Structure 1
Amino acid sequence: MTNETPRLWTRRRMLGAAGGLVTASAWMPPVLAAAGSSPQVKLPPTFANTERERPGPPNPQPDAERVGWAIVGLGHLSLEELLPAFGQSKRNKLVALVSGDRAKAQAVAKQYGVPDKGLYDYKTFDRLKDNPDVQVVYIVLPNSMHAEYTVRAAQAGKHVFCEKPMANTVAECQQMIDACKKADRKLGIAYRLQYEPHHRALIRMARDKELGTLKLFTADNGQNQGEPNQWRHKKALAGGGALPDVGIYCLNAARYLSGEEPIEVHGFSHSTPNDPRFKEVDEHFAFHLKFPSGFQANCTTSYSTHETKRMRLMGSDGWADMDPAFSYGGLRLRIATKSKAFPKADDTVERSFSQTSQFAREMDHFARCVQENTVPHTPGEEGLADMRIIEALYRSAREGRTVKLEAPKKLDAFRGPPPKEEG
């Protein structure tokens, strides 16, 4: 027995006691100060340079420096994806909830530590202006409500992040853009895949001509909808069916992969007679897009097929495909080109990136834009561009003809600077 006070065997002490060969202070670098008041920690590599690079510590911002968000609407997307994403966010914190169901809001608030003062319903929504903890309002409501609540949020002095499709009409999209500009507030549209590492890599490959000249794009995004009375099957609430809900992923991908805007569109719509789900909205929608360079896209989308989420980008020198391409996780990217080592063979490789929350990534980007006063990569103008094409596709399907569009000549005409955190 000894009267000596027990000493804890910490990791640092163990390193120092290992034969005196190494100490924690010698092996571990000091905390590195970054711009601003947030400390940044960098660790030395532990693997050989033959292994993929690790991202390192996440270095989240302290709570006091994070951007406060209010989530408007507590449906499946909010409860299953957005609220859990705050746990992976580096720049954001959840400070308020808006719901028409008080009991649900109170239960969720307890789960995520939202104070009672951060609970609102749709009648008290405008009181957000009196809550300085809220800097961003995330609109996660039926499509027909996006314009109203974006305008009200901007008038309350809050930045707005809005789910896609941006709205039901081009006119509503413009109303949202105008309201945020008048209030000097930022408006971002939640195109999560434009921030996702596999899609970011494919965008860079396309811009760097790694597939040669882009020629064709094909994409299919379908799912089998259930309950006929849900809001997605009501035209007044949803604006349309499969096209604006899941077809928008194919449309947007064709645009951001090529960087171009279509000059001709042709759409084909079908709904099965007597299926109660599709009395008001389209069940299937197929469409063709033609771009100024000659690049073309053929896409299908459906509300009554088993889940399919795939795409392929084809160039003169190779192709790249993703299957799944549009899911919340599990994305796979394959690339095929002529083999440099074996000229009589093709090389097909799979490129894998770390797959953290897509929602945390897009929200962190928007928070950075708020903190640094920069333009979001997917601003309101990006959502407006998609809605203009969707309206043209519906017109094409109704009239049975190709619809011509005017398109800007420069690439990425409606997008802000690319996100700083690529992978």
Structure 2
Amino acid sequence: MTTRRQFIEKASLSTMAVTLPFASTFSSSVRKQEDKVLRVAIMGLGSYGTRVAEAMKDCKRAKLVGVISGTPSKIEAWKEKYGIPAKNCYNYENYHQIKDNPDIDAVYVITPNSLHKPHSIGVARAGKHVICEKPMALNAEEGREMIQACQEAGVHLLVGYRMHFETKTLEVIRRQRAGEFGKTLFFQGLSGFMIGDPKQWRLNRALAGGGAMMDIGIYSINGARYMLGEEPIWVTAQEVKTDPVKFKQGVDETITFQMGFPSGAVASCLSTYSMNNLDKFFLNGTKGFAEMQPSTGYGPIQARTNQGPIEAEHITHQTTQMDEMAAIILDGKSPVVPVDGEEGLRDLVIVDAIYEAVRTGARISLI
């Protein structure tokens, strides 16, 4: 006769026999998922490409495995420095051949702004995920073409918004969303520096698509959106140019611009290539404020609120960015603030409106 205790013991052993292999398989699958590494090629081996490559040395989920460059000497130097195999090295004429290279998952496009669209679309058509430096394109029309191309190719399109993963920035965003500052009514964004070499591509309209706004001003546009948690409904803007020789037609030196939001909040921002000591965000609400200075530099970021300083360990932004982007692509992770093509497009729509406001002197509606 089977006692109740014997029945329970047998049932327990039977259950273990069924569940333990499953638990082991589940644990193994989770571990394998976390062990996946995004294999990245960098396209454009200039100063920022080098910064990303150095930061990726400390990544856990992303690895530099390839390069694309128009300069043979740079390719040779990177091969040696980063241990990149020759089969993963391409130039701007043959990079489409990455389609046949299973060792590359994604390409980080860090070429001049005017090349973002053709290079990103070329990468997408080769079947590789696209990470594109900001601004995503020269204008909203180009941005839409990039989004469509990546959708058709079935690949991710991510934009290099490193601040969307920065710890202190995310803490300010958390507090704003939690209502700790009350109703947020005002944002100030100051973005600029004194630019050097007048012959660099950033001062070439054909390559940059503009001037300071396309390089540094976009930080204030993007910052206003994530700090206020809203999308603007109108913009106004004014341009000031003190050096028309250095800043030729179509290359903006300084633009001040304003944005209005559905809640009634307003943003007042400055984009310039003629002043240092800026890089400041200020958010004001009915119950408190947040101030960040520096707010978007390579770090460490300094942040404080009406309750005091925000403390957090500084981690190289590009290291965190690439690990988080790997999690988005490999695991389907959803970031607190988006970094996809649609996010890049929203900024481009505003940039287009700012330039239109400068040209016409009118208030430009965004709805």
Q: TM-score higher than 0.5 here? A: yes
1:201 maps to what in 2?
171
Q: Tell me if the contact between 2:187 and 2:228 (Cα under 8 Å) persists in the aligned partners.
A: no
Counterpart AA for 1:367: A
1:130 shift after superposition? 1.0
1:24 maps to what in 2?
none
Any idea what the Cα deviations from partners look like across 1:202-235, whole Å, max 9, x if unmatched?
Answer: 1111100000000101111111111111111111
1:378 aligned residue (323, 331, 339):
339
- 1:284-299 mapped onto 2 (5 Å cutoff): 284-299=254-269
2:47 aligned residue (71, 76, 79):
76
2:315 aligned residue (330, 334, 356):
356
Once residues 274 and 311 of structure 1 are traced to their aligned partners in structure 2, the CA distance between those partners, rounded to angstroms, is: 29
2:58 maps to what in 1?
88
1:277 shift after superposition? 3.8
2:348 maps to what in 1?
387
1:105 shift after superposition? 1.1
CA RMSD of aligned residues (A): 1.7
Q: Tell me if the contact between 1:271 and 1:278 (Cα under 8 Å) persists in the aligned partners.
A: no
- DSSP-derived class of the 2:242 partner: coil
2:123 maps to what in 1?
153
- 1:298-309 mapped onto 2 (5 Å cutoff): 298-309=268-279
Inter-CA distance 366–35: structure 2 relative to 1 (3 Å threshold)? farther
2:240 maps to what in 1?
270
- Count of matched residue pairs: 340
- DSSP-derived class of the 2:278 partner: strand
2:78 maps to what in 1?
108
Over 3 Å off, 4+ runs = 277-280, 373-376
Q: Tell me if the contact between 1:262 and 1:289 (Cα under 8 Å) persists in the aligned partners.
A: yes
1:36 shift after superposition? 2.9
1:259 maps to what in 2?
229
1:179 maps to what in 2?
149
1:188 shift after superposition? 0.5
1:231 maps to what in 2?
201
2:327 maps to what in 1?
368
Counterpart AA for 1:73: G
Inter-CA distance 97–318: structure 2 relative to 1 (3 Å threshold)? same
1:7 maps to what in 2?
none
2:188 aligned residue (191, 215, 218):
218
Counterpart AA for 1:247: G
Inter-CA distance 289–37: structure 2 relative to 1 (3 Å threshold)? closer
- DSSP-derived class of the 2:29 partner: coil
Q: Tell me if the contact between 2:59 and 2:320 (Cα under 8 Å) persists in the aligned partners.
A: yes
- DSSP-derived class of the 1:297 partner: strand
Question: When the two structures are superposed, what TM-score results if normalisation uses the length of structure 1?
Answer: 0.78
1:324 aligns with 2:294: yes
Q: Tell me if the contact between 1:219 and 1:310 (Cα under 8 Å) persists in the aligned partners.
A: yes
2:37 maps to what in 1?
66
Once residues 350 and 190 of structure 2 are traced to their aligned partners in structure 1, the CA distance between those partners, rounded to angstroms, is: 18
1:133 maps to what in 2?
103
1:368 shift after superposition? 1.1
1:36 maps to what in 2?
29
Once residues 34 and 238 of structure 1 are traced to their aligned partners in structure 2, the CA distance between those partners, rounded to angstroms, is: 48
1:117 aligns with 2:87: yes
Q: Tell me if the contact between 2:139 and 2:351 (Cα under 8 Å) persists in the aligned partners.
A: no
Any idea what the Cα deviations from partners look like across 1:111-167, whole Å, max 9, x if unmatched?
Answer: 111111111100111011111010011000101101101111111000000000010
Once residues 87 and 180 of structure 2 are traced to their aligned partners in structure 1, the CA distance between those partners, rounded to angstroms, is: 53
Q: Tell me if the contact between 1:311 and 1:325 (Cα under 8 Å) persists in the aligned partners.
A: yes
1:366 shift after superposition? 1.6
Instruction: Pick 1 or 2: higher relative contact order, CA cutoff 8 A, min separation 6.
Output: 2
1:335 aligns with 2:294: no
- DSSP-derived class of the 2:348 partner: helix
- DSSP-derived class of the 2:198 partner: coil
2:361 aligned residue (400, 403, 410):
400
- DSSP-derived class of the 1:148 partner: helix
Q: Percent identity?
A: 37
Unaligned 5+ residue runs, structure 2? 1-25
Counterpart AA for 1:366: M
Once residues 311 and 265 of structure 1 are traced to their aligned partners in structure 2, the CA distance between those partners, rounded to angstroms, is: 18
1:360 shift after superposition? 1.6
Unaligned 5+ residue runs, structure 1? 1-32, 40-59, 337-347, 407-423
More helix by share: 2
Once residues 225 and 262 of structure 2 are traced to their aligned partners in structure 1, the CA distance between those partners, rounded to angstroms, is: 12
Once residues 250 and 34 of structure 1 are traced to their aligned partners in structure 2, the CA distance between those partners, rounded to angstroms, is: 43
Q: Tell me if the contact between 2:241 and 2:247 (Cα under 8 Å) persists in the aligned partners.
A: no
Q: Tell me if the contact between 1:186 and 1:375 (Cα under 8 Å) persists in the aligned partners.
A: no
Any idea what the Cα deviations from partners look like across 1:43-98, whole Å, max 9, x if unmatched?
Answer: xxxxxxxxxxxxxxxxx965xx311001000011011x200111221101111000
Once residues 372 and 326 of structure 1 are traced to their aligned partners in structure 2, the CA distance between those partners, rounded to angstroms, is: 27
Once residues 318 and 82 of structure 1 are traced to their aligned partners in structure 2, the CA distance between those partners, rounded to angstroms, is: 36
1:272 shift after superposition? 1.8
